[in-house]
Amino acid sequence: MCRWFIQIRRTRKVGPRGGWQAVFMAHGGNDEIADYWNQYADAYDDAPDHGLGDLATREAWRVLLQRWLPTRSSEVADLACGTGSLTALVAGLGHSVVGVDLAGNMVERARAKTVEFAEQVTLKLGDVCHPPIEPASVDVILARHILWTLPDPAAALVRWRSLLRPGGRFLLVEGCWWSVGDQDYTDEGRMPWAGGVRAVDLVEVIEPLVHRIEVLPLTDPLLWGEEVSDERYLLVGYL
């Protein structure tokens, strides 16, 4: 069963790639991808929704996470945790978090950002396609804007599902900025969801893995530090 809070548009929006072009150009292997994100780590938090430096943006994400995370203290895997902004928010809500990222510079910044939660947070260097996490050991898989970068997102979702305990859930923040074939990018074989994934497409892939799905459009400009016109959403999938 899938519950839509409002109807999601079924047409792709085409938006600028901006700084993401280097990711596409470098998708030849994990070393190249890690090199890109290591180089980008210093500037990563400049984006309002990455660094959460603005108190209103930070609070908007905290409220969103509090609404959709379990009410009891839980074990959460933050996959592609980046500099640890969401990791810190989740820990601040009383949960234990294991954060995984491919880039060592990102992990170091996440470690600094979560130092006050050292007893609740474990940070690991690793590939989110094969997370270094034991099967059936977490209650929540949290991932924001990472599925679109993966060479086989469907396979990754199956692996992530194996990490969840019975009764666990996915919290997937995704969106669709431009479609494969637009912006002169044509390497669909390496990144089938390049430029983002529509909610209807993600629902189709994850539906066999879960019992129930809810999709919440994320249109509040406070979440992004600006007005947005493309499709952005939270998908919650319950086992």
Amino acid in the structure at residue 93 = L
Task: Name the token pair of 30.
Answer: 């994990």
Q: Which CATH number fits domain 2-234: 3.30.540.10, 3.40.718.10, 3.40.50.150, 1.10.10.60?
A: 3.40.50.150
Tell me the CA distances in angstroms from 110 to 41, 130, 214, one per residue in order: 10, 20, 29
Predicted pLDDT of residue 41: 76
122 in helix, strand or coil? Answer: strand
Mean pLDDT, range 100-122, rounded to an integer: 95
What is the tens place of the pLDDT at every residue in 17-29?
A: 333 333 333 444 6
Mean pLDDT, range 9-15, rounded to an integer: 33
Rounded distance, CA 149 to CA 134, Å? 23
What is the tens place of the pLDDT at every residue in 37-54?
A: 778 778 887 888 898 889
The domain spans of the chain are: 2-234
Question: How do beta strands 164-176 and 138-144 pair?
Answer: parallel
Amino acid in the structure at residue 200 = V
pLDDT > 90 in the chain, percent: 67
Whose tokens are 């994934």? That residue is 197
The pTM score is: 0.85
What is the tens place of the pLDDT at every residue in 57-90?
A: 999 999 999 999 999 999 999 999 999 999 999 9
What is the tens place of the pLDDT at every residue in 103-112?
A: 999 999 999 9
Rounded distance, CA 163 to CA 181, Å? 33
Predicted pLDDT of residue 185: 47
Contact present, 126 and 117 (Cβ < 8 Å) = no
Predicted pLDDT of residue 166: 98
What is the tens place of the pLDDT at every residue in 143-157?
A: 999 998 899 999 999
Predicted pLDDT of residue 189: 62
Closest by Cα among 106, 155, 148, 149 to 130: 155
What is the tens place of the pLDDT at every residue in 158-213?
A: 999 999 999 999 999 999 976 444 455 445 567 888 889 999 999 999 999 999 99
Distance of CA 161 to the CA centre of its chain: 15
Contact present, 135 and 159 (Cβ < 8 Å) = no
Question: In terms of pLDDT, which residue wins out, 9 or 187?
Answer: 187
Predicted pLDDT of residue 73: 98
Rounded distance, CA 190 to CA 151, Å? 5
Tell me the CA distances in angstroms from 225 to 55, 58, 66, 219, one per residue in order: 11, 10, 20, 11
pLDDT score of 30 more than 70: yes
Question: In terms of pLDDT, which residue wins out, 1 or 221?
Answer: 221
